[in-house]
Amino acid sequence: MLNPDFPFSYDHYLAHPAGLGSVPPELYGTEVAVVGAGLSGLVTAYELMKLGLRPVVYEADQIGGRLRTAGFPSAPGVVADLGGMRFPVSGRAFYHYVDLLGLETQDFPNPLAPVTSSTVIELAGQKYYAETAQDLPPFFREVADAWKAAVNDGAKFVEMQEAIRARDTGRIKELWNGLLPLMDEQTFYGFIAGSESFKEAGFAHREAFGQVGFGTGGWDTDFPNSILEILRVVYTDADDQHRLISGGAQRLPEALWQHAPSGMAHWPDGTSLASLHSGSPRGAVGSISRDADGGLRIRERWSREASYAAVVTTCQSWLLSTRIHTEEALFPAELWTAIERSHYMQSSKTFVMVDRPFWKDVDPDTGREVLSMTLTDRLNRATYLLDDGPDKPAVILLSYTWNDDALKWLALDADERVELMLHSLEQIYPGVDIASHIVGQPITVSWEADPNFMGAFKANLPGHYRYQQRLFTHFKQDKLPDTQRGIFLAGDDVSFTAGWAEGAVTTGLNAVWGVVNHLGGSSAPGNPGPGELLDAIGPIPLD
Ligand code: FAD
């Protein structure tokens, strides 16, 4: 996911034998606070530990954050990924840690993916069955062609992908810096509707594009967002070639917490984040302020206090104004504006466990499997079928929705959600008795209703590029007054690819660079860090 805003090769940076840098030995053991034990916080803490610092991780709820995996209590090992569940192979910084920790991955059964035996698209009551994209009627090919033409004509898609594949930083920046001012104030829908190809194709094609979209399915709930957000996804193949983590996505943050790397500066072999914390992170952060002596003071919700030379916050950044009392003087006013104006998507998922992957039963009349991965314009929007082999309980993600579609479920409890979802599926698959296969309790989540997140993930609205640029570049603090140094923002909403775990990893690495620099350390010789290259290839300011 070599991002056009900052095409820094984080995978090369991480793989470099010289490592990420060093701090002066007299600083070994210095405590640095890390707020949040999601992926970003744990990558940050893990790398700080390797450099000989002592990360102190704070967490309000569970280790893992939005990489949260829930289990079905009656069937140990059968799991549901409530947040991140499918990870593009282009996210190479993310996979650096997956590989390091020896986690197994498998292809994710997206619509029409090779691993998905069949997909059903149901729009306006009309049902289309496909094993490959070629099985769909020509209309869908026209929709796909109109999208390809729109991004080629309007956003230099092929040229950008070629430049990204070649890691041609100069060319990426040249293309992107030309597009930014033209695109920042345009919505995704405005871009589609204004394109020659979709104008020619007509409304039905635009509508179907919104419903079935590209890659993972329909993206019409993103229509009001800035087109820049969508371009970043498609340029970097974030919506393609997804893999899941066997046993659940939460295994990644949990493994980072437990892992004891060898050859660390200062810490003996066998030291892990878990051992440095005696097994549990500290509690929820209630406030962050500046001490009289210049330190950064953290007060926990249940009153314990400590002061640090540096703090990294990785929770959704607007929690810094809504849930954590953060002293206003710690950030410049324009950064607060960026934090406050953030736009987060809502998202809901509802899972049921079933006795076995019965959808693989073949209907004798049609010769097809009785149930398929399903995209529909009904409330469910997308239904995924997840199994781990025959004769074992399996999982149906009955509905995965975003934004307005997620809000439609918000007020309903799990059983009410399941009833409505099953009703929709009965219309698409008459005669298939899904309910009779359900075992255990359904699991449902609405991320916007959880006070430790208050939203699923960020998606910028038109005109928000300037805000994102401020948030992303804040880790390089040489132009800030001393009173605003030492506190760093990380987490996927600080990245240019919110909603993808890769952004959580890479902004964590930016924060590590920031902390090392702040404490008087430096990058490793021959392996310049993100801060060294930010001015040369970083996101440009707009007027
Ligand atoms: P978080 O995981 O949010 O971690 C922040 C942590 O801070 C949390 O654990 C929180 O409890 C904690 N916290 C909050 N307040 C406080 C406080 N006061 N004190 C201490 N701790 C606090 N990414 C993909 O790559 N692929 C996907 O398929 C995908 N799908 C997604 C689907 C959904 C529904 C959601 C919600 C996200 C999805 N993502 C996906 C995004 C991915 O989950 C995130 O990018 C990643 O998990 C974010 O990690 P983070 O560490 O930045 O933030």
Given a cut of 90, is residue 197 above it in pLDDT?
Answer: yes
In a domain, 74, yes or no: no
For residue 345, the model assigns a pLDDT of 97
Q: Under a CB-based contact definition with an 8 Å cutoff, are residues 61 and 316 in contact? A: no
For residue 216, the model assigns a pLDDT of 83
Q: Which atom of ligand 1 is nearest to the CA of 286?
A: 18
| Residue 319 Cβ contacting ligand 1 at under 6 Å | yes
| Residue 315 Cβ contacting ligand 1 at under 6 Å | yes
Q: 234 and 272 share a domain? A: no
Closest CA to 151 of 182, 185, 197: 197
In a domain, 155, yes or no: yes
| Residue 457 Cβ contacting ligand 1 at under 6 Å | yes
Give the single-character DSSP code of 263. S
Report the greatest alpha carbon distance in the chain. 78
| Residue 67 Cβ contacting ligand 1 at under 6 Å | yes
Final residue in a domain of this structure, among 194, 224, 244: 244
The span from the CA of 11 to the CA of 1, in Å, is 10
ipTM above 0.90, yes or no: yes
Q: 213 and 278 share a domain? A: no
What percentage of the chain reaches a pLDDT higher than 70?
Answer: 100
Q: Which atom of ligand 1 is nearest to the CA of 238?
A: 25
Please, which pLDDT band fits residue 526 given cuts at 50, 70 and 90? very high
How remote is the CA of residue 126 from the centroid of ligand 1, in Å?
A: 37
Mutational test site, ligand 1, from 63, 66, 397, max ligand atoms within 8 Å of CB: 66
Closest CA to 441 of 414, 463, 422, 412: 414
Structural domain containing residue 322? 10-65+247-344+457-537
How remote is the CA of residue 40 from the centroid of ligand 1, in Å?
A: 8
| Residue 504 Cβ contacting ligand 1 at under 6 Å | yes
* Residue 468: CATH number of its domain: 3.50.50.60
Q: Count of alpha carbons within 13 Å of 323, Cβ hemisphere only?
A: 17
In a domain, 416, yes or no: no
Closest CA to 486 of 337, 288, 286: 288
The span from the CA of 408 to the CA of 352, in Å, is 19
Q: 137 and 210 share a domain? A: yes
Instruction: Tell me the per-residue pLDDT of 50-105, one tens digit each, with 9 for 90 and over.
Output: 999 999 999 999 999 999 999 999 999 999 999 999 999 999 999 999 999 999 99
For residue 217, the model assigns a pLDDT of 83
Instruction: Tell me the per-residue pLDDT of 501-525, one tens digit each, with 9 for 90 and over.
Output: 999 999 999 999 999 999 999 999 9
Residue 467 tokens read as 């805000």
The span from the CA of 414 to the CA of 72, in Å, is 14
Instruction: Tell me the per-residue pLDDT of 382-398, one tens digit each, with 9 for 90 and over.
Output: 999 999 999 899 999 99
| Residue 323 Cβ contacting ligand 1 at under 6 Å | yes
How remote is the CA of residue 39 from the centroid of ligand 1, in Å?
A: 7
Nearest CA to ligand 1 atom 23: 500
Nearest CA to ligand 1 atom 15: 452
Mean of pLDDT values over 340-356: 97
Q: 253 and 231 share a domain? A: no
Q: 199 and 252 share a domain? A: no
| Residue 11 Cβ contacting ligand 1 at under 6 Å | no
Q: Which pTM does this prediction carry?
A: 0.98
Final residue in a domain of this structure, among 217, 244, 271: 244
Helical packing angle, 530-537 and 501-518, nearest 10°? 110
| Residue 35 Cβ contacting ligand 1 at under 6 Å | yes
Q: By three-state DSSP, how is residue 130 classified?
A: strand
The span from the CA of 168 to the CA of 161, in Å, is 10
Strand order in the sheet with 105-107: 87-88, 242-245, 105-107
Instruction: Tell me the per-residue pLDDT of 112-139, one tens digit each, with 9 for 90 and over.
Output: 999 999 999 999 999 999 999 999 999 9
The span from the CA of 6 to the CA of 426, in Å, is 47
In a domain, 397, yes or no: no
Mean pLDDT score across all residues of the chain? 97
In a domain, 293, yes or no: yes
| Residue 40 Cβ contacting ligand 1 at under 6 Å | yes
Q: 340 and 461 share a domain? A: yes
How remote is the CA of residue 48 from the centroid of ligand 1, in Å?
A: 20
| Residue 86 Cβ contacting ligand 1 at under 6 Å | yes
Give the single-character DSSP code of 442. E
| Total domain count, the chain | 2
Given a cut of 90, is residue 9 above it in pLDDT?
Answer: yes
Residue 179 tokens read as 């597009």
How remote is the CA of residue 66 from the centroid of ligand 1, in Å?
A: 3
Given a cut of 90, is residue 214 above it in pLDDT?
Answer: no
Q: 124 and 240 share a domain? A: yes
Final residue in a domain of this structure, among 188, 218, 244: 244
Q: Which atom of ligand 1 is nearest to the CA of 491?
A: 52
For residue 172, the model assigns a pLDDT of 98
| Residue 346 Cβ contacting ligand 1 at under 6 Å | no
Mean of pLDDT values over 28-56: 98
Please, which pLDDT band fits residue 309 given cuts at 50, 70 and 90? very high
The span from the CA of 469 to the CA of 3, in Å, is 13
| Residue 84 Cβ contacting ligand 1 at under 6 Å | yes
The span from the CA of 435 to the CA of 429, in Å, is 12
How remote is the CA of residue 391 from the centroid of ligand 1, in Å?
A: 33
The span from the CA of 55 to the CA of 42, in Å, is 9
Q: By three-state DSSP, how is residue 287 classified?
A: strand
Q: By three-state DSSP, how is residue 289 classified?
A: strand
Q: What angle do CA 15, 17, 519 make, to 5 degrees?
A: 90
Nearest CA to ligand 1 atom 31: 84
Please, which pLDDT band fits residue 201 given cuts at 50, 70 and 90? very high
* Residue 202: CATH number of its domain: 1.10.405.40
How remote is the CA of residue 248 from the centroid of ligand 1, in Å?
A: 15
Q: 268 and 329 share a domain? A: yes
Q: 294 and 228 share a domain? A: no
For residue 340, the model assigns a pLDDT of 95
Q: 295 and 234 share a domain? A: no
| Residue 85 Cβ contacting ligand 1 at under 6 Å | yes
The span from the CA of 273 to the CA of 260, in Å, is 8
Nearest CA to ligand 1 atom 41: 499
Q: 133 and 257 share a domain? A: no
The span from the CA of 490 to the CA of 486, in Å, is 13
In a domain, 388, yes or no: no
In a domain, 32, yes or no: yes
Given a cut of 90, is residue 281 above it in pLDDT?
Answer: yes
In a domain, 431, yes or no: no
Instruction: Tell me the per-residue pLDDT of 232-268, one tens digit each, with 9 for 90 and over.
Output: 999 999 999 999 999 999 999 999 999 999 999 999 9
| Residue 284 Cβ contacting ligand 1 at under 6 Å | yes
Q: 293 and 160 share a domain? A: no
Q: Which atom of ligand 1 is nearest to the CA of 58?
A: 20
Sign of CA pseudo-dihedral 229, 235, 241, 243: negative
Given a cut of 90, is residue 12 above it in pLDDT?
Answer: yes
Q: Which run of H or E residues covers position 488?
A: strand 487-489
Mutational test site, ligand 1, from 95, 315, 350, max ligand atoms within 8 Å of CB: 315
